[in-house]
Structure 1
Amino acid sequence: MKKHYQGYLIDLDGTIYLGKEVIPAGKRFVEQLQELNIPFLFVTNNTTKTPIAVAKRLSEEFDIQVPAKTIYTASLATIDYMKEQGKGKRVYVIGESGLVDLILSAGFVWDEESPDYVVVGLDTEINYEKLAVASLCIRNGALFIGTNPDKSIPTERGLLPGAGSFISLIQTSSQTDPVMIGKPNAIIMDEALKVMGLNKDDVIMVGDNYETDIQSGLQNNIDSLLVLSGFTAKSAVPHLPEQPTYVVDSLDEWVF
């Protein structure tokens, strides 16, 4: 018997849209949640865009109207985690504006000499000096934080290096393991639940990627809904090492 969930944690790319194309069933899924007044939070590993920018893209490109407060990125989870650590306010960041600007606007101070934290995310303008500074700071005692483990990202050109690739390089050079924030790790899921004000038993994680979205549920005792509209193929489902709570071909099949 299917549970009634008080809240939904939802992936974006592959679930609500696919690249530059909206997934109609995903759009209808969000609109149904809004009509039924069921709380939801988009949970994404993407750190290159702020929640405001993501909401603007959803509106302008896909005609999905949601407030920025419904979008929880790995950048926000990183900030919430650092605030809870109480280690200090000095930070060095490898990343783009969706990460750097949010961290600095949250009250952290840029420091390339002796930061309390080194945060590493996706940076399309990465260079040797950035990697060197990060490695040296970590060796000098800064807490090493990786925004998300995604080693590659899908683009029109094919799979390109993701944040996880940079994190692995700095992990090797600094000989230090990072605290990893993004899906499927516990930190982003726990922080998302705090934002929603709900318990694990109250929510379900919805996504198309077994390795991140569904593992977010499986590894953190949260029910999961795998939709076969993106990353994970239907042919792979029978061979998955552990099954999601639910599997649907389309989100149109889901009954609230």
Structure 2
Amino acid sequence: MSEHHPVRTWLTDMDGVLVHEEQALPGAAEFIAALQENAVRFLVLTNNSIYTARDLRARLLRSGIDLPEEAIWTSALATAQFLSEQMPGGSAYVIGEAGMTTALHDVGFVMTERDPDYVVLGETRTYSFEAITRAIRLIERGARFIATNPDVTGPSPEGPLPATGSVAAMIRQATGIKPYFVGKPNPLMMRSALNRLEAHSESTVMIGDRMDTDIVAGMEAGLRTVLVLTGSTRRSQIEGYPYRPTRVEDSIADVVPLVSELAPSA
């Protein structure tokens, strides 16, 4: 990695890299502190669209990780930005929670069940058959189908929960309409994060715990990538993918020394 351009910007996934079930992983707080001490710009990315950036900052702070609200970039924020660029002042029927509805309100979208421009599917812990049925009927009438992310399951203390990708598959089967996913592994989310930081791909590193979302999205966006083994992907699984991360580390703790080593002043 040191043979490339100095690293001026870091992007990192949240779950499986910094936290696991709301508990900070070893080295996470030190990693954020190292970024701040070296005045390196960064964003924490998450496909979770349930919470606002303010909510997530509070949750991370309780785990011992202190970072500003502005350093969090969610699939809900990326989706809202994308839609505001596609159709300024548009309307949407939303299946989701505060993270998604707040982001859309903030970009000037109107929430409606009557002939919306878009059906926007986000993550929620309370998917209802009534809401899914309404989404199907609106899509059949011409509403464009957007989903925040393709993750089929999400974590919980009791085990996996059905997530956005599973519900999107149900709606797709019923309508024959494929959704446009904004979140990872769509490199659009990486590009939107880079634009937010006014950063360049050749001087940015993406850290993630999943080969099929974090690493592939980073690679397709032209970033160097670091896979940490504290989340979804195990070391034995890496060889099964047709692409490779730039670097593999056991945990975020092993990345902390790289912040100073790869910084422009190093």
Q: What TM-score, normalized to structure 1? A: 0.94
**Separation in 1, partners of 2:139, 2:251:** 45
SS at structure 2 position matched to 1:224: strand
State the distance in 2 between where 1:41 and 1:47 align: 16
Task: Name the residue aligned to 1:55.
Answer: 57
Provide the residue aligned with 1:213 in structure 2: 214
Give the distance between the partners of 2:241 and 2:176, measured in 1 at CA.
Answer: 33
Q: What's the counterpart of residue 119 of structure 1?
A: 120
Residue of structure 1 equivalent to 2:262: none
Q: Which AA in structure 2 matches 1:233?
A: R
Residue identity matched to 1:82:
L
Displacement of 1:87: 6.0
1:88 is displaced (CA, Å) by 4.7
Residue 15 of structure 2 corresponds to 13
Which range moves more in the overlay, 33-42 or 198-207? Answer: 198-207
Give the unaligned 5+ runs of structure 2: 260-266
* 2:88–2:109 CA contact under 8 A, matched in 1: no
Contact 1:41 1:70 in 2 (8 A): yes
Q: Distance in 2 between matches of 1:191 and 1:238?
A: 30
Q: Does 1:196 find its partner at 2:197?
A: yes
Query: 1:92 maps to which residue?
Result: 93
Q: Determine if contact 1:47/1:121 at 8 Å carries over to the other structure.
A: yes
**What is aligned with 2:33?**
31
1:169-184 maps to which residues of 2 (within 5 A)?
Answer: 169-184=170-185
Which residue is 2:263 aligned to?
none
SS state at 2:230 partner: coil
After TM superposition, the runs of 4+ consecutive aligned structure 1 residues lying more than 4 A away are: none
Q: What amino acid sits opposite 1:63 in the alignment? A: G
Supply the AA of the counterpart residue of 1:182: G
Which region of structure 1 is more displaced relative to structure 2, 36-45 or 170-179? 170-179
Shift of the alpha carbon at 1:195? 0.4
- CA drift of 1:124 comes to 2.0
Q: What's the secondary structure of 2:101's corresponding residue?
A: helix
CA distance in structure 2 between the partners assigned to 1:252 and 1:156 by the alignment:
24
Q: Which runs of 5+ in 1 are unaligned?
A: none
Structure 2 counterpart SS, 1:133: helix
Matching of residues 128-139 of structure 1 within 5 Å = 128-139=129-140
Between the two proteins, the alignment pairs up a number of residues equal to: 255
| Partner Cα separation in structure 1 for residue 66 and residue 141 of structure 2 | 45
Within 2, Cα distance between the matches of 1:235 and 1:95?
35
- Report the secondary structure of 2:185's partner residue: coil
| Corresponding residue for residue 229 of structure 1 | 230
Identity of aligned residues (%): 35
Contact 2:22–2:59 (CA under 8 A) maintained in structure 1: no
Q: Which residue of 1 aligns with 2:80?
A: 79
In 1: Cα distance, 2:95 partner to 2:235 partner: 36
Tell which deviates more after alignment, 85-94 or 205-214: 85-94
Q: Which amino acid aligns with 1:5?
A: V
Change (3 A) 1:171 1:226: same
Partner of 1:158: helix, strand, or coil? coil
Rounded to whole Å, the distance in 2 between the matches of 1:172 and 1:165 is 11
| Partner residue, 1:46 | 48
TM-score calculated relative to the size of structure 2: 0.91
SS in structure 2 of the partner of residue 188 of structure 1: helix
Q: 1:22 offset after TM fit, Å?
A: 1.1
CA RMSD of aligned residues (A): 1.5
Residues in 2 aligned to 1:249 and 1:238: alpha-carbon distance in whole angstroms: 16
Query: Which amino acid in 1 is paired with 2:16?
Result: G
* Counterpart position of 2:241: 240
1:244 offset after TM fit, Å? 0.4
Kept in 1: contact 2:81–2:107 (CA 8 A): no
Query: In structure 1, what is the Cα distance between the partners aligned to 2:22 and 2:77?
Result: 24
Larger relative contact order (C-alpha < 8 A, sep ≥ 6)? Answer: 2
